[in-house]
């Protein structure tokens, strides 16, 4: 099943605006709402976005497990949604959250602090 094959209760007008990849997914960036810290990137289809908007908790589509997952359900490191926005092309979602605990599955606060690449080389 691709993202576009899964049923969704997402508002059809919003669904019509989304530009999805061939797999029916849209990248979703999670950002700490008060500091601007970029926490992680996940993937959403229409239903994951609908669940995120209606529950106040980030729901993603796992490409490896082919199932929905709610951030923090197993780890306790929840993402409480403060706002959701589309970029100008409607092909990326920005979710501003209040991150409780680590955002990265490695246990780090963010997925982007462990492998900083050198500039100017």
Query: pTM of the prediction?
Result: 0.90
**Higher pLDDT among residues 13 and 8, named by residue:** 13
pLDDT for position 114 = 84
Nearest to 94 by CA among 74, 75, 78, 79: 79
Nearest to 30 by CA among 105, 88, 89: 105
pLDDT for position 26 = 98
Q: Which residues carry a binding-site annotation for Zn(2+)?
A: 88, 104, 111
> Torsion over CA of 113, 23, 44 and 16, rounded to 10 degrees?
130
Neighbours of 17 (CB within 10 A): 10
Please say if the pLDDT value at position 104 is more than 70: yes
Q: Which residues carry a binding-site annotation for Mg(2+)?
A: 87, 89, 91
Please say if the pLDDT value at position 66 is more than 90: yes
Please say if the pLDDT value at position 120 is more than 70: yes
All domains of the chain, ordered by start, with CATH? 23-99 (3.10.20.810)
């Amino acid at each position: 099943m691709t993202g576009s094959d899964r049923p969704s209760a997402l508002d059809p007008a919003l669904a019509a605006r989304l530009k999805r990849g061939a797999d029916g997914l849209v990248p979703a960036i999670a950002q700490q709402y008060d500091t601007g810290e970029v926490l992680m990137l996940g993937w959403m289809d229409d239903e994951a976005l609908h669940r995120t908007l209606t529950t106040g908790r980030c729901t993603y589509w796992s490409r490896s497990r082919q199932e929905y997952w709610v951030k923090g359900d197993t780890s306790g490191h929840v993402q409480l949604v403060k706002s959701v926005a589309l970029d100008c092309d409607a092909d990326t979602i920005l979710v501003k959250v209040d991150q409780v605990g680590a955002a990265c599955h490695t246990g780090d606060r963010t997925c982007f602090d462990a492998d900083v690449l050198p500039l100017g080389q």
